[in-house]
Chains A and B, each alone.
Chain A
Amino acid sequence: MTDEAAARVASHRLRARWLVVALAMLALAMAAGMLFGAKSLPPSDVLRSLVGSSSHGKQPLDAVIVRSIRLPRVLLAGLVGGVLALAGAAYQGVFANPLADPYLLGAASGAEVGATIAIAYAPAAWSVNSVPVAAFLGSIAAVAAAVVLGRSVRAGRSTTVLILAGVAIAAFLTAVETYVQQQHQAAIRLIYSFILGRLGTAGWSGLKLVLPYALVAAIVILLHRRHLDVLSLGDDEAASLGIRVARVRLILVAAATLATAAAVAIAGTIAFVGIIVPHTIRLITGGSYRTILPLSIIVGAAFLILADLVARTAVAPAELPIGVITALIGAPFFVVLLRRSRVVAQ
């Protein structure tokens, strides 16, 4: 074995160069997210508020803005963006389908129905906010129904059947949602704002709710990074390599769905992050999930922090819905990237 041969076959590892670039992007995005906002604050004040030495005569309002509004909002945007991008990458691998996103099996429509029902029917007297709980449960229930439905059909390729089951569930739930909305016209504005996504109202408590699910999902999915590479060979080959394809698929769908449901329950159904971020990384770094998964988390976080920054500053003091921004920036960028790229997704 020559040295040249030894250099040829290297395991697909995350290259330091890409990791540094991604982390730099995230750092810049976080800095921008902290420094800019509806109220303009000098950078020195932001820094002083963050490190906590705001006690000598400074306006406490600035510290409140930085610590209770901007910081949790930036962190939540990062967390939700990272979760959606990671879940999207996992779904694309699990289904060997470049069009897959975290909402493929009905996670979004389930959350929307849950939120819609909670907004329309929950008594205003309830002390807890029932919307995120209902959205979370609706999201999980929709995907579980799609999986159960998909597994009950014996014919056809299992991934195709599962995707079709997800389509059927989503269509059914959308009909339910529309019906409830028609019955409760007054609630439509609230429901609409949930669907378009928002990061501004959740604060630290929202962050705490999403974090455990995001951590569990990230650990489970990252531990399966090699399995996702094997699954990209196709079901037969993965099985002939000794992988229990159906079980691995179920584990990954469960992990991705749990995190997606938590993110959606707090931040609404933010579109496009889960599809554009993993694809951008794939086009730049190549086809191994050992690179795509970790970079998706970092770049997804940076992307949503920046999108949220645009959403809250572009027409300040009003806010644009973040889902509008992700698609408005994301779609053209993605098209440019696709056109410049030599590799075309099959």
Chain B
Amino acid sequence: MTGVELVDVGVSYGERRVLHGISARVGAGEWLAVLGPNGSGKTTALRAVCGLVDFDGDVIVGTTSIRTMHKRVLARSVALLPQHPTAPVGMRVSTYVLLGRTPHLSYFAQETDKDRAVAERVLDRLGIGALAERDVSSLSGGERQLTMLARALAQEPSILILDEPTSALDIGHQQDVMEVIDDLRRNDGIAVISAMHDLTAASQFAANIVMLSRGHVVASGHVGSVLTEERIKEHFGASVRIVQDGAGVVVIPVRTNGNGSTGAAR
């Protein structure tokens, strides 16, 4: 298992520079959360790690720059779970998960028994073997997210890139999915980079945080040192109270205007 390092990574979309010299690293078995307000460049940073956008600077996977890697070789190390994955109508879960084997297959090849064995193992690992025959577009939110994760794991990656992995889920399924990912990190040594909006969850699961604002890194390091009330006020424009809680912190939104009226009947 290997880690990944971003060295002064910058990205421009045409004339517009959306990422300015981001540096970060995450080792095998570590979890890095990328936080920041909407439009701060989180998704772009993740796309750069997967080689999906042109960038300057460098991204090092293990000891190799991804610039020198064939796309298919890169896809054997780095798997992406995008924010809004497509669930093709009518495609079965097993077919969908098997598509994760693509980087291990030569151009015109079809899946072999070995690939099916990997897909089965991944489905069992995530506890969704019973969904194998279902239509991916008919799944509930939680089932769907686990299926998408299974497709990424079928790549047998050492680095898992997650863009808002739980934003479409209720709180129970959020916790389930986060625990599954944490289990993969701890037991399989997978390096995890996730863009997240839920600051509390980020602090509970990630050891390190990179905070972005307008394409710049404004803070990075351990959870406790990065997540401060002042910083969240400055970059998110949010009033919060931060409470220490075990491994992480709890970020509580606080109303600033209004006089405490909640609209509830009294």
Interface residues of A (CB under 8 A from B): 1, 5-6, 8-12, 96, 154-155, 223, 226, 229-230, 232-234, 236-237, 239-244, 282-283, 285-288, 343-346
Contact = CB atoms under 8 A, between A and B. Distances in A.
Given A154-B14, A230-B102, A1 B117 contact: yes
B97 A236 contact: no
B141 interface: no
A241 B99 contact: yes
A10 B91 CA distance: 13
B120 A5 contact: yes
Interface in B98-148: 98-100, 102-103, 105, 108-111, 115-117, 119-121, 123-124, 129, 132-133, 135, 137-138
A241 to B, nearest CB: 4
Contacts of A226: 102, 105, 109-110
Given A154-B14, A286-B91, A286-B92, A9 B98 contact: yes
Interface stretch (B1-9, B79-87, B166-174, B222-230): B79-87
B97 to A, nearest CB: 7
A230 B135 contact: no
B119 to A, nearest CB: 5
B232 interface: no
A343 B102 CA distance: 27
Contacts of A12: 92, 94-95, 98
B139 to A, nearest CB: 13
19 contacts: A1-B117, A5-B120, A5-B129, A8-B123, A154-B14, A232-B86, A233-B85, A233-B88, A236-B52, A237-B80, A240-B75, A240-B80, A241-B75, A242-B75, A282-B89, A286-B90, A287-B91, A343-B90, A343-B135
B235 interface: no
B74 interface: yes
Contacts of A240: 50-52, 75, 78-80, 82
Given A242-B73, A242-B74, 15 more contacts: A8-B132, A11-B115, A12-B95, A229-B99, A234-B86, A236-B47, A240-B79, A240-B80, A242-B102, A243-B71, A286-B91, A286-B135, A287-B88, A287-B91, A345-B89
Contacts of B132: 8-9
A288 B91 contact: yes
Nearest to A13: B110
A184 B97 CA distance: 58
A73 to B, nearest CB: 35
A346 B89 contact: yes
B119 A9 contact: yes
* Residue of B70, B86, B135 with most partner-chain A CB within 10 A: B86
Contact of B103 (A242, A287, A344, A345): A242
A232 B91 CA distance: 10
A183 B20 CA distance: 60
A12 B92 CA distance: 9
A10 B111 CA distance: 9
B98 A11 contact: yes
B72 interface: yes
B261 to A, nearest CB: 42
Nearest to B71: A242
B75 A343 contact: no
A237 B85 contact: yes
A213 B210 CA distance: 55
Given A9-B123, A10-B94, A223 B108 contact: yes
B131 to A, nearest CB: 9
A287 B50 contact: no
A233 B96 CA distance: 9
B203 interface: no
B100 A241 contact: yes
B114 to A, nearest CB: 12
Contacts of B91: 229, 232, 286-288
A9 B94 contact: yes
B155 interface: yes
Nearest to B122: A9
Among B91, B123, B137, the one with the most A-chain Cβ atoms within 10 Å of its Cβ is: B91
B74 A287 contact: no
Given A9-B116, A9-B132, A155-B14, A236 B75 contact: no
A138 B61 CA distance: 48
Given A9-B119, A287-B90, A343-B89, A233 B71 contact: no
Given A154-B14, A240-B52, A233 B97 contact: no
